[in-house]
Structure 1
Amino acid sequence: MAVAQRSRTSSWSAVLKPLLGQGALIALLLLVAFAAFRYEGFLSAYNVSSFFRYNSMFMLIAIGMTFVIVTGGIDLSVGSVAAMSSVIAALASPYGLLAGLLAGALAGALVGLINGLVITRLRVEPFVATLGAFLGARGIAQLASRQNAVSVDQNGTFTKLGQGDFLGLPIPVVLTLVMLATGMVLLRYTRFGRYALSIGDNEDAARLMGFNVDSVKLGVYVFSGLLAGLAGVILASQFGAGQPVEGVGWELTAIAGVVVGGTLLTGGRGSLGNSMVGVILLGLIFNVLNFENGKGIISIDVFWQNVIRGVFLLVVVVMQSSRLARDNH
């Protein structure tokens, strides 16, 4: 009898464990169902398109952040890099869409390269190194723009990158899907991705196994910077101007989305698909709050968004820490 009961319990655990591991996805589906029932126009083509067009910037940054966190690192510079890249892309936009795109993306990759070199060559902790880049990139953005928004060239094709559609999808979403597919291939099917996961799991063991740890880390931070740069290009193209004061708290949004998706802050485990679910869930919370504000029942100031992000991240980190403690026991 006891054996049969243990068998049933084990069977239920086998069924429930995968479901519990998809908590973010379940929460997302429940939130969508609630909002679709409560708010007229929530599932309209305009709202869905606008939501993904805007949140594609955070999704791009979260792709790079997933790689960074998987190795056990952190990148606090991504918000400032996006702001800096938006200014550089705007300044280059008179030379065409490709010039603006490459200028912004490469500027981000350059900051990522500096981050990687400081971390791997000078042995500075990622938190400190990327905090320095956070301040430096923000300063460059303000100097290059003279602390004003920099208008993009309205006569060329640059604005189509952020405002146009391709095959019925917003172009920023198409770009995000391409980078997401690239990231998934890198993480799952290449030596680079396997090494990144191994480094996060146990860096010393990875070195003993002969992995080129420094090269992988360098590549991870360059990739993160590149994607933050692309987010900055979309920012400039979508809003018609480089935004030197934008990007505040974007690193928190990316980290929160990645952690909500189940990537361990300690490294060694992560999923880009789940990171996207986490970012969408967090973005959807703010979308729902905007609809609720429109009903006039409550009114939540835009400045509360960072408070909500912070609390959201804190709760998830505490839950993740408790789960790790239980697993270790």
Structure 2
Amino acid sequence: MVFPPLREELRGLEPYGAPQLDVPVQLNVNENPYGPSPACVADIAEAVSRAAATLNRYPDREFVELRAGLAAYLTRDTVAAGFGIEPAQVWAANGSNEVMLQLLQAFGGPGRTAVSFAPTYSMYPEYARDTSTRWVQGHRAEDFSIDLDAARELVRAERPSVVLLPSPNNPTGTALPPAAITLLCEAVGDHGVVVVDEAYGEFRRSGTPSALELLPVHRNLVVTRTMSKAFAGAGLRLGYLAADPAICDAIRVVRLPYHLSAVTQATALAALRHTDELLGQVDALRAERDRTVVWLREQGLEVADTDANFALFGRFADRRAVWQGLLDRGVLIREVGPDGWLRVSIGTPEEMTAFREALVEVRRES
């Protein structure tokens, strides 16, 4: 008998995790480098203090006020299309990771299949594994776009109950055109759901629409978001989705009781009261991203077109040596994605200057 009696398919596996190293410039996990203002911090502290006085009671299991606040925020992206998001269309959990896991619990499982297209977020196959969902991985084109004819044929052949489509994609930053989402929603039909993961949606370039605009057209569409990135709330752990109310009701079957604490709900509501302020740095980060892409290309490197707050660049014969060389100079980025590529999160101008200077040194010495 092998102890502990772990599920056979989990034996020998390592847990997910990016390096957490104490270095001066941390550009590896796509965090927002700008923290909340003192006014926002004070509002959060007051809200948490009020919640603390009621911690002897369970929180609102349906987090009604928070769902209303999130719906109002998402409506900012749909009002031009002539409709709003209703609270009954919104669901939230402890980070978009838990949202995704709940979706796989509800719509995946034994005898069911999940599909995505590599390179893509490395946690997707782990969500499938953890819910005993069969995992099928299609592939992206050389420019990291999705070959729609091949994708449609894959979906028709595999009949997945869940299709996972990050837009912008992680780690490439590639956004999906609405036509691609529509094609896949139609190909999947009523036997599955299409999940468009917009964790980095607020950073998309001008003219790039949100998949939220397609919700009235496709009842099998789910659009997920997070407060970790644009809202500078990585430590908050609040992810959410918008979908047909029937999908939200289905997730309620698998969620754990009282899964969102009173403190989490209070903190998220306080952050939403400071939406404009917290999103105030998004334009600056977009501009810094675009400058970084231009600079990297001027160095003779390939860079994927990106609508996110990061850039995937390469190609390196030995990317590990480049990653280590940057780390030796106090700059931590991410060794992720296809072989030969590296990903850098967009930080403050000072952090990006340090990154550029370190990269020049590393390449000069290689």
- TM-score bracket, normalised by the shorter chain, equals under 0.3
Structure richer in helix, relative to its length: 1
* TM-score normalised according to structure 2 size: 0.23
- Larger % of strand: which? 2
**Structure with larger RCO (C-alpha < 8 A, sep 6+):** 1
